[in-house]
Amino acid sequence: MARFCCRAIYKMDQDHKPDEARRSKSVKLALFFGAIAVLWYVVSMIVVWTQ
């Protein structure tokens, strides 16, 4: 799954491949903020549902 996400969101031109540590950190940060957005979407609907 992590590899799929990595491939889906990450493609650098060969000339510009940064080091593996930086690339890994970028993907982790992206997944973190993406998860926050999805969670917030679900939580906002639950809050409305429970009104």
Instruction: Compute the least distance from the CB of residue 12 to another protein, in Å.
Output: 6
Residue identified by tokens 């549902």 is 49
Inter-residue contact 31 to 38 (CB < 8 Å): no
- Pair of tokens at residue 5: 């996400």
Instruction: Compute the least distance from the CB of residue 2 to another protein, in Å.
Output: 14
Q: Which residues, 6 to 45, sit near another protein by CB under 8 A?
A: 7-16, 18, 22, 25-27, 29-30, 33-34, 36-38, 40-42, 44-45
Instruction: Compute the least distance from the CB of residue 11 to another protein, in Å.
Output: 4
Give 3-state DSSP helix, strand, coil % of the chain, rounded to 5. 80, 0, 20
